[in-house]
A = this chain, B = another copy of it.
Amino acid sequence: MTKPKQGDELVFLPLGGADEIGMNLNAYGYGPVEDRRWIIVDIGVSFGGQDKPGIEIILPDPSFLEEERDNILAIVLTHAHEDHIGAIGWLWPRIKAPVYATPFTAALVREKLRDHALLDRVPLHEVSLNAFLQLGPFGVEYVTLTHSIPEPNGLAIRTPLGLVFHTGDWKLDEAPQIGDRTDIARIQGLADEGVLAMVCDSTNVFVEGRAGSEADVRDTLKAAIQSVRGKVAVTAFASNVARLQTTINVARECGRSVCLVGRSMKKVTSAAQSVGLLQHIPPFITEEQAAGMPPESVLYLCTGSQGEPRAALARIASGGHRHVSLGEGDAVLFSSRMIPGNEVAITALQNTLIRRGVRVITDHDAHIHVSGHPCREELKDMYAWVRPRIAVPVHGERRHIIEHAAFARSLQVPMVVAPHNGAMIRLAPGTPDIIDETPAGRLYVDGGVIVEADNEALKERKRIAEEGFVSVSLAVAVKKNAILAGPDVRTRGLSIADEEAFDLALDDLADAAEAAFQRLPHAERVDDELTEAAIVRAVRKAAERAFKKRPLVEVSVLRV
């Protein structure tokens, strides 16, 4: 390892994931402030909720990295979850650095690049597990961990100023079902070298104990399936290939054939098989085949555990699935957790299933799910193995990060930095500190376009969603400056007691518009903007009276 030069600094900059669980985007910089090289670790998305109507995907703001584009050596991916790779297709064109990923991750990245027509443009380097990459001043070593997806890796990042262990997402699993166990020996080896800083997963810092092993799920899943006379549907995250493997094994033991339902189930299983996973299993049956078989011989593995309205399970529950129907005697096993924000959708889905007579079994009833993130006892183990000089909690909301920071202090980590998105943290030399704030925030994908989080369009939509909309158009004679036709008033999203009252209200609004026009001094009437603004004000007031709402009002004056 080369010696650090005068002025060299090692910095860590989270641009996503340090103010939320999701949307991970981390950068490590090395060199003097005027000549720094960067690597990016992970580039993920979050998903919009009902407070962001029309927004499905949320991206971290990459503007700092865009500016530093020429100095970015690589995008290194730890694992294939959406909150770690999902932004690659959206943001790569702004960064344009080579991408490194292990085979399973690379297979799913390729799908994304294909969707964005970037497959030919992005240099995607597939690396083996335990690979070592020298990227400028950064020596990056993949360290095998366990998590809820194949090929989860921590990264040991060596620099002339010290070694950082970036955990990515992890848990401790003695029997992960797929992939190797956590490479504890390698982690302890890093500790012997001396670890400057550990940048670590905070997701479950509020949870006592341990997450538990994938193996624990097996027996309970089997017992639950054996208790069902009719059809069984198991819903789980498609990316949890170990869970799929377990379910497939248990299905075989219970004499049930497995049918995959839902697009991402098929996508992930095919990616898994392309890298040698899910081998030596009975062939999947099609939905049509399953429909023709005795109920007790079928197990559906399906998407939709979060209550997503368009996913397979929601369609099955509402009776709207073409080939799959469930009813009395059948059961749905939720082998998954509730992602915060989805509670209402998930329980509504469960109620719909129960109304059909379907039995619903969740991880509340039986131990059929384990988390993929470290609980407090696991964090304790990891800190004991790694013995970092600095703890940097990430992958958490503010409350997780602060709690993790306090927990690390209680474990005697000498120094702790609680980062937030955009905080540039100098890890070395000297005492770690936040030395700069870079632009950080969120971008939204809205109808295929990337927009600012505080964009006007979304605000307008939310306003209309609450308050409704009124449009007014009128034709005005240019010379005589008099109304020739209209005002024509239309409303959207406004209710009133009955139709007659509604018609009267529309008349009121039209009268208000006309009166506002007539009241205008001639000098203002010839100005479209002034005219429209005056009519907007008058119509809004009349609408508030009539509808007890504050609708958006749009006025269009046509000069004839």
Contacts and interface: CB of A to CB of B under 8 A. Distances in A.
Interface in A488-508: 488, 490, 492-497
A467 B465 CA distance: 11
A281 to B, nearest CB: 33
Contact of A457 (B354, B495, B548): B495
B451 A461 contact: no
A446 interface: yes
B558 A474 contact: yes
A344 interface: yes
- What bracket does the count of chain A residues touching chain B fall in? 35 or more
A284 interface: no
Nearest to A51: B50
A347 interface: yes
A548 B449 contact: yes
Contacts of A315: none
A411 interface: no
B486 A558 contact: yes
Residue of A340, A464, A471 contacting most chain B CB atoms (<10 Å): A464
Copies of chain A in the complex? 2
Contacts of A473: 471, 473, 488, 556, 558
B558 A485 contact: yes
Given A343-B340, A447-B548, A556 B492 contact: no
A439 interface: no
30 contacts: A49-B50, A53-B466, A54-B465, A54-B493, A341-B344, A347-B397, A351-B397, A351-B398, A351-B399, A446-B495, A446-B549, A447-B495, A448-B548, A449-B497, A451-B495, A455-B495, A457-B492, A458-B493, A460-B468, A460-B493, A461-B468, A461-B492, A464-B469, A469-B469, A471-B490, A473-B558, A475-B560, A486-B558, A558-B558, A560-B560
Interface of A: 19, 49-51, 53-54, 206, 340-341, 343-344, 347, 350-351, 354-355, 360, 364, 397-399, 402, 420, 446-449, 451, 455, 457-458, 460-462, 464-469, 471, 473-475, 484-486, 488, 490, 492-497, 547-549, 552, 554, 556, 558-560
